[in-house]
């Protein structure tokens, strides 16, 4: 039974933990920037609505950070418990970025605590605003260092391999491998994009439910503009990611595109199903698009999956993860662009319930795109845990209790998810914006 297979259950438990943690990690990276922008606009415009956005978002952010600490700690423990052979081989390399990730988190948490508990201690909000800079830097660096670990697993370097052991280890060189630029930039851009769209979801939902308060309209307008900027950035970085895969992980790109034969002028395939002969049926083929994605030229030759040994080919299901990610990304660009242009030109439909429901859907869909992107990244590296060096089967534990651990952690994550929702609801339902606006004093330039 699969439930008794330690390798399979180790994979399932790892993807369960990563899928749950990435929700909180995305919020942890993206929300500080939203808080900074809101507070800065509030100070510049002397607008208490934006000041209140920063205050309320920071309050909710603390809750998600607390849960993110738990799940992040679990990931570190599971690396050692579920993948002991991998940690024995590469632990002394990834230990440095993992340590730096913890340091970055503490750096963020210290200034976040000071920011939260000194809100009313600064009459000059500009001085209080400065506390957000290390919070955002810490959040970004935390994302950087943990993504470096994933990048190393995809593009290992900074060592010599002698008789199956890593020697002449240079952790700094390993941390600056070729996968880092595209992976880190994509993680940051999508975190900012998703955080903006989830805040837009809340604002749009409040307006749909009948709120006429300017607070929600301003929040919606600001977050949709930010979301558009980073959605476009994610699309551009995604193009660079395709070119990285074509050069360094061509088997992953070929599997994601169901591209079996090496050919030039290669089309990009979206959706569809494969028949028994690996022919795509019901798919949408975009002529020349894969050649452009891979090499920037419509006539470029793209390596096919048949060029690789069958045992080294990634699972073909990553094609659907790619489809989900791209489809949602395009959808969010279209919706946010329509909103921005519509507001500028006075198009009334962007203020209608139908269009606002599309915005409400955008937040959860953006999280789904984040999940699909990580599933593609992790499953697409199969069969390797350390590409070209160690397979997943070689790295996994042989313990018979992984199946039981899966059930226990599933229960834990369920409790954490429910607890997060309950606490956030109690925080905001008992403190409506009208009540909080009464407690805020106007911002005065130069006041200390």
Tokens of 391: 């397979």
- Count CB atoms within 10 A of the CB of residue 168: 9
* pLDDT at residue number 444: 46
277 lies in some domain: no
Euclidean distance between CA atoms 49 and 36, whole angstroms = 14
Contacts 24+ apart (CB under 8 A), 154-161: 154/179, 154/183, 154/248, 154/249, 154/377, 154/381, 154/387, 155/179, 155/248, 155/249, 155/387, 156/90, 156/386, 156/387, 156/388, 156/389, 158/93, 159/93, 161/389
336 lies in some domain: yes
Tokens of 163: 């008789």
* pLDDT at residue number 370: 93
267 lies in some domain: no
212 lies in some domain: yes
Euclidean distance between CA atoms 145 and 387, whole angstroms = 19
270 lies in some domain: no
- The tens-digit pLDDT sequence of the chain (448 residues) is 566 788 888 888 999 999 998 999 899 899 999 999 999 998 898 888 898 888 889 888 988 888 888 888 888 888 888 888 888 888 888 888 888 888 888 888 888 888 888 877 777 778 888 899 999 999 999 889 989 988 998 988 888 878 777 788 888 888 888 999 999 999 999 999 999 999 999 999 988 988 778 888 899 999 999 999 999 999 999 999 999 999 899 999 999 998 888 988 888 889 988 887 778 888 888 898 999 988 888 988 889 898 898 888 999 999 999 999 999 999 999 999 999 999 888 888 888 889 999 999 999 999 999 999 999 988 988 898 888 888 988 888 888 888 888 999 999 999 999 998 888 888 887 776 666 666 655 544 443 3
* pLDDT at residue number 279: 80
Number of domains in the chain: 1
Domain extent for 414: 2-262+303-437
Per-residue b/e over 311-323, b at no fewer than 16 CB within 10 Å? Answer: eebbeeebbbbbb
* pLDDT at residue number 231: 94
287 lies in some domain: no
279 lies in some domain: no
Q: What is the DSSP letter of 167?
A: E
* pLDDT at residue number 448: 33
Q: Residues 160, 166: contact at Cβ < 8 Å?
A: yes
Which residue in the block uniquely carries the two structure tokens 């439930």? 3
Q: Residues 5, 45: contact at Cβ < 8 Å?
A: no
Euclidean distance between CA atoms 347 and 247, whole angstroms = 45
């Amino acid at each position: 039974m699969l439930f008794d297979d330690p390798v399979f259950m180790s994979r399932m438990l790892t993807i369960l933990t990563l899928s749950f943690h990435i929700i909180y990690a995305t919020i942890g990276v993206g929300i500080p920037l939203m808080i900074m922008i809101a507070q800065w606009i509030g100070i510049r415009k002397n607008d208490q609505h934006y000041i209140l956005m920063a205050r309320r978002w920071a309050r909710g952010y603390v809750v998600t950070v607390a849960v993110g600490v738990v799940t992040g700690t679990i990931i570190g423990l599971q690396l050692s418990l579920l993948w002991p052979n991998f940690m024995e081989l590469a632990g002394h390399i990834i230990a440095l970025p993992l340590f730096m990730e913890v340091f970055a988190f503490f750096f963020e948490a210290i200034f976040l605590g000071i920011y939260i508990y000194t809100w009313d201690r600064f009459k000059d909000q500009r001085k209080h605003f400065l506390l957000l800079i290390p919070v955002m830097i810490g959040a970004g660096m935390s994302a950087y260092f943990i993504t470096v670990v994933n990048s190393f697993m995809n593009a290992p370097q900074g060592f010599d391999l002698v008789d199956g052991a890593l020697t002449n280890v240079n952790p700094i060189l390993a941390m600056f491998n070729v996968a880092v630029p595209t992976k880190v930039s994509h993680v940051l851009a999508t975190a900012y994009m998703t955080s903006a769209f989830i805040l837009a979801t809340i604002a749009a939902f409040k307006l749909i439910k009948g709120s006429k308060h300017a607070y929600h309209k301003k929040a919606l307008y600001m977050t949709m503009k930010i979301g558009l900027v980073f959605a476009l950035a994610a699309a551009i970085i995604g193009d660079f990611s395709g070119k990285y895969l074509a050069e360094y992980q061509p088997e992953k790109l070929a599997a994601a595109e169901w591209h079996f034969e090496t050919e030039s002028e290669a089309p990009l395939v979206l959706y569809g199903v494969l028949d028994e002969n690996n022919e795509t049926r019901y798919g949408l083929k975009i002529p020349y698009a894969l050649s452009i994605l891979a090499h920037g030229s419509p006539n470029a030759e793209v390596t096919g999956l048949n060029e690789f040994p069958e045992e080294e080919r990634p699972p073909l299901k990553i094609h659907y993860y790619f489809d989900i990610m791209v489809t949602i990304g395009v959808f969010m660009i279209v919706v946010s662009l329509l909103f921005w242009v519509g507001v500028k030109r006075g198009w009334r439909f962007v203020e209608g319930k139908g269009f606002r429901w599309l915005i409400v859907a955008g937040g959860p869909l953006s999280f789904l795109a984040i999940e699909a992107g990580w599933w593609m990244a992790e499953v697409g590296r199969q069969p390797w845990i350390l590409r070209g060096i160690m397979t997943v089967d070689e790295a996994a534990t042989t313990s018979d209790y992984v199946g039981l651990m899966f059930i226990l952690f599933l229960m834990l994550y369920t409790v954490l998810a429910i607890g997060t929702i309950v606490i956030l609801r109690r925080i905001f339902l008992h403190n409506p914006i009208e009540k909080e606006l009464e407690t805020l004093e106007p911002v005065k330039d130069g006041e200390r």
